[in-house]
Amino acid sequence: MKATKEFIQLSGILNQNLGIHKNNCATVIDFAIALQKSRTVNLSQMVNYSEKLAEIKPESIYKNYQRLIQKSKLSQSDLAKCIVAMYGLEDCKLTLSMDRTNWRYGKADINFLVLSVCLIGTAIPLYWLELDTKGNSDTEERIKLMKLFITDFGVAKIDFLVADREFIGNDWFNYLHTSGINFSIRIKSNMLIELNNGEKVRSGELFKIVSRGGVISHQVKIDGMNLLAQATRSPENELIIVVSNNLAEPNLLVIYAKRWRIECLFGQLKTRGFNLEDTHFTLKDRVGNLMKFVVLAFAICYLIGLVGSKKHPILLKKHGFKQKSYFRHGYDLLIRTLNSGISMAIKLITICFEKMNLEEKCQQLICVL
C-alpha cells in the first residue's frame, strides 16, 4: 500500500484520535479495507481482499491481522469518544440502549453485554463487557458498564437509558435512580406492582384493557420505588409495559421504542453486515479487540450512508419502507468508491474521522461521494 497523501493523513488521525501506533496504522487501514470488501471477520477470507497482496505473501498478511487483534491497544474509551465526535454528538444528550448479543463457536459461548448510543435507525456500541456465563447479566455487571460511560462523559450526558425485560430488579432500578439516570425499561406482564391505594396486582392485569395503538399510564410502586408505568399493544396484540423513574415523561413508549435500534445493530454486525459470528477467536481480549474494529467499520459505513442518502437517495418499496438500511447504503457507496480508487476511499474514511463542524463534514463527504 503506497504512502499517499491521503494515507499519511489518515494514519496521523488514527494515531492522534485512537492512540494507534504509527507502525501499526498501515495494518489497521489494510484490515479495515479488507473487512469492508470481504464482509466477514474470518481472517483467512479477509486476506484475499488485502491491498498488500502484490507486496507480501498471504501468510504474512494473515499473521499481521492476527497480531493486530491479539495485541491491539485501542481502548473502548478512545473508541467511544471517537464515535461521539464522528457524529457531532459532543453537545447532545444521548439515549443509551443496553442489551446482550451472544453466539457459540465450538464449545465456547461468547456473550456480550453492550451499551450503545441510539441514532436514526440504529444504535452504535460504545462500551461492552464479555460475560463469563452464557445467560443474563447481573446488576454488578450492568453497573460496571454504565460507569465506563459515566467516567468518560458524565451522568448529565444521559437523556434516557432504554432496555428490555431482562434488565429489571430492585438493586438495578435503585442504582439508576440514585445516580440520576432516567430509564424506560420494559417489564414482564406477570410482575407484581403496587397501586396508590396499596393494592398489589400483576402488571398484565392492570393494563389488560389497553387496545392496539392505545396508551394507558399509571403511577405505581415496585419494591417501594415510585415509578410511572405506561402500556400499549403492538399490531400483533402483544402487551408492552414500560416503567420509568421520570414521573413527568408522557412519551415513555416512544422513548422505549428506540431500543429496537440495537436489535437492528446486532443484525448488521452479524448476518446482514460483517458476519461477526464467523470469527474463530474465543479468548476474551481477542474477541473484544475484534469487536472494536468491527464497530469502527460499522460507524464509518453508517455515517457515509446517512450523509450519502442526501445525494444518492435510498429508493422506497411499494409499502413505503426503504429498500435498504443506511448502513447497507453507506457500505455500498464505500465499496463503489474503493472500486474507483483506494485514494478516494481513504479520503472518505479520513473525513469521517476528522474533527470539524458536522455540517462541514457532511458537505465534504457529499463532495467525495
CATH class of 77-263: alpha beta
pLDDT tens profile 171-199: 999 999 999 999 999 999 999 999 988 89
Q: What are the contacts of 16-21 at 24+ separation with CB within 8 A?
A: 17/78, 17/82, 17/85, 17/353, 17/355, 18/74, 18/78, 18/79, 18/82, 19/73, 19/74, 19/75, 19/78, 20/73, 20/74, 21/73
Specify the pTM: 0.91
- DSSP single-letter state for residue 87: T
pLDDT tens digits, the chain, 369 residues: what are they? Answer: 666 888 889 999 999 889 888 888 999 999 999 999 988 888 899 999 999 998 899 999 999 999 999 888 899 999 999 999 999 999 999 999 999 887 765 556 778 899 999 998 889 999 999 888 778 899 999 999 999 999 999 999 999 999 999 999 999 999 999 999 999 999 999 999 999 888 999 999 999 999 998 999 999 999 999 999 999 999 899 999 999 999 999 999 999 999 888 777 777 777 677 777 777 666 667 888 888 999 999 999 999 999 999 888 888 877 777 888 898 999 999 999 988 888 899 999 999 999 888 899 999 999 988
pLDDT tens profile 117-146: 999 888 999 999 988 877 889 999 999 999
* Domain locations along the chain: 5-73+283-368, 77-263
Please report which helix (H) or strand (E) contains residue 367, including its range: helix 358-368
What's at 258, amino acid-wise?
A: K
